[in-house]
A and B are shown apart, each in its own frame.
Chain A
Amino acid sequence: MKTYLEKVWAGVRTTAKGMVLTWKHFVTKPVTVQYPEQKTYFSPFERGLHEFEPDKCIMCHLCAKACPVDCILIEEEGTGKAARLTKYEIDYSKCLFCSLCIDPCPVDCIHMGQEYDLSAFQRGDHVKIDFTKGDGPWRTKRTSAHPEAGLPEDAGV
C-alpha cells in the first residue's frame, strides 16, 4: 500500500516537473531566423559570391587557369594596351567557392564577397553571372569604388 501510494505520488510529481520544464521552454524566445527577412551573421572570412572590379582587370587569365573546375570564362577585344574586357563570366553551377582564383590575381581585382543567396524563380536566372554587365548582388562595398575598404564596418570582428 505504501509503495503503491509512493508510486502514484511519484507519477504526479514527475508529470508536474516535466510540465514545468516545457513551460520554461514555451516562454523563451524562439531561436528561428526568418530567413529572407532576417539573416544570420556572415563572417567576413566566409566565402560568398565573388566581387569583381572590371576596371582593374588586366586580362591575364591567371584566375581562370587557377580554377580547378574551369568555371571562369574571360573574353576580350583588341590586343596589348588596347585590349578591353568584354566578358567575365563565372558559372555558379560549377563554382565550388574554393577561393583559388583570388590568390594568383596580380592586381587584386577579384575577391570573395558577402552575398551567398543565389535564389531566383527560374533555374537559369543566376547560374551564370557576367561580372561586366548589370548591377547584380555582387556589387557590394568592396567592389571597384573602394578596393582597399577591407572588412565591412558591421563585421564585428
Chain B
Amino acid sequence: MQQWLDQLAGSGLLAGLPRGLVYTMGAVGACTLVLLFASLLAGEVVWLERRVAGRMQARIGPNRVGPQGLLQFLADGLKLLGKEDVIPAEADRPTFLAAPVIVFMGAFAAFAVVPFGYGLVPADMNVGLFLILALTSIEVPGVIMAGWASNSKWAILGSMREVAQMVSYEMPLGISALVVAILAGTLNLSDIVAQQEGWAWNWYVLRGPFGFVAFFIFFTAALASLKRAPFDLPEAESELVAGFHTEYTGFRFAVFFLAEYSAMILFSMVTAVLFLGGWSPGFPVDLTGPAGRWIGFAVLFAKTAFLLFTMIWVRWSLPRYRVDKVMYLCYKVLLPFSVACVVGAALQVLVGDAVGGAFGRWLMGR
C-alpha cells in the first residue's frame, strides 16, 4: 500500500502535494472502499441468508425487490431508518449510544489486514493474523456496554452469555490459527497465501491431518464467536427476545446487524485465507499481474461465498445448544483437539525438516 502510494505521489497530478496528504487521502479512500465492500456485501449476505433459509424450508424467500430480490436489503435498511429511534428512559445514554459503534468498529477494522488479492491489502502487516484475532475481540466490550446500558434483563442476560461464549471460544480460535502459523512460519496473511500457491494439496486444510482438523475447529469457533446458530445463545429469540440488542431500534439496530454480517464475511475471508489457499485457485497460475490480482480477488470471493453459504446452511440445520453444552464443547472438545493439532503440526514441521526433498517441504508447509 505504501509503495503504491509513493509511486502515485511521485507522478501525475499528485506530484506537487505533500506526502502526508497523499497518505491520508489514500487511507480515507481505502477505508471508504472497504466500508462499501463490507456493507454492501453484508446486505447481500442477509438476502442470501433469507433465500437459502427459504429454500431449505421449501419456500422461495424474498424475490420481489429488484432482480431475484437482490435489493431487499435496501428496502429493509430504509424501513429501519424510518423507524423511531427509541432510547429507554432508564438507559445509560452515552454508553447506550457508543455500543453499536464499538461493535461495528471491531468487525470492520479487521478488514484492514485481509489480503483481498496479490498486493490488494489495505495494510500489509507482519502481525496480520494476530491483529485480526485482537480486533475481533473489541466486539466483546461493545456487547457488554450494550447489554448493561440497556437496563433490561433480556439484554444483560444476553450480553453475559455473549461475553462468556466469545472469551471462551477465542482460545480454540487462536490455537487452531496457530496451527497455520506454525506450518507457515509467519503471521503475515499475504505470505501465508503465497505459501499455499500451486496445487490444491498445498492448501493448509489438505496438508496433513492436523491442518484438516484445525480447519473445522477454526470454523466452529468462528461460528461461536460470531454468535451464529447453533451458538446463538446471546440473542436466542425464543428465550431472550433478542439478547443484547433488545432495546435497540432503527438505525442503531441496523448497525448491530451490519456488524454481525460483516464479521461473518470477515471470518469467512480469514478462513479462506488461512486454510483454503486465499486467492490461489488450486492449480499453479500466476496471479501477481495487474489483471491477475483481480482474478485472485474473484477466486477468494468465491471461496468466501462458499463459506458464507456453509455458515447459513449450518444455521438452518442445527438446533441451538444449551448454555452448559456450549461451554462443554469449547473447553472439553475443541480446546484439547486444537492443542493436539498444534503439537502435531509442530512435529509435522520437524519430520518434514528431517525428511527433506519436495515431500519434506510439503510437510513443513513452506
Contact = CB atoms under 8 A, between A and B. Distances in A.
Contacts of B59: 30-32
Grouping DSSP codes into helix (H, G, I), strand (E, B) and loop, the B interface class, with mixed when no group exceeds half, is helix
B56 A18 contact: no
Interface string A1-43: 0001000100100010011011101101111101000000000
A76 B56 CA distance: 59
Given A22-B313, A26-B52, A31 B58 contact: yes
B314 interface: yes
Nearest to B63: A34
Given A22-B56, A26-B56, A32-B58, 5 more contacts: A8-B337, A15-B317, A22-B317, A30-B54, A30-B55
Contact of A26 (B55, B60, B314, B318): B55
Chain A interface size band reads: 10 to 19
B313 A23 contact: yes
B330 to A, nearest CB: 13
A49 to B, nearest CB: 27
B3 interface: no
Contacts of A23: 313
A8 B325 CA distance: 12
14 contacts: A4-B332, A11-B329, A11-B333, A15-B317, A18-B317, A21-B317, A22-B317, A25-B55, A25-B56, A26-B313, A29-B58, A30-B58, A30-B59, A31-B59
Contacts of B316: 22
5 closest Cβ pairs, A-B complex: A22-B317, A32-B60, A18-B317, A30-B60, A31-B58
Contacts of B58: 25, 28-32
Interface string B293-318: 00000000000000000000110111
A41 B316 CA distance: 31
B233 to A, nearest CB: 17
A30 B316 CA distance: 16
B77 to A, nearest CB: 25
Contacts of B318: 15, 18-19
B57 interface: yes
Nearest to B216: A12
Which of A8, A21, A29 has the largest number of chain B CB atoms within 10 A? A8
Contacts of B55: 25-26, 30
B313 A19 contact: yes
Grouping DSSP codes into helix (H, G, I), strand (E, B) and loop, the A interface class, with mixed when no group exceeds half, is helix
A18 B319 CA distance: 10
B60 A19 contact: no
Contacts of B332: 4
Contacts of A31: 58-59
A30 B55 CA distance: 6
Interface in B311-352: 313-314, 316-318, 329, 332-333, 337
B176 to A, nearest CB: 16
Contacts of B57: 25
Nearest to B309: A26
Nearest to A14: B318
B312 to A, nearest CB: 10
Interface in B45-96: 52, 54-60
A128 to B, nearest CB: 32
Nearest to B328: A7
A11 B329 CA distance: 10
B333 to A, nearest CB: 6
A128 B178 CA distance: 74
Contact of B333 (A8, A26, A28): A8
B340 to A, nearest CB: 12
Contacts of A8: 333, 337
B341 to A, nearest CB: 14
B317 A34 contact: no
Contacts of A19: 313-314, 317-318
Which of B56, B59, B313 has the largest number of chain A CB atoms within 10 A? B56
Nearest to A23: B313
Contacts of A15: 317-318
Nearest to A31: B58
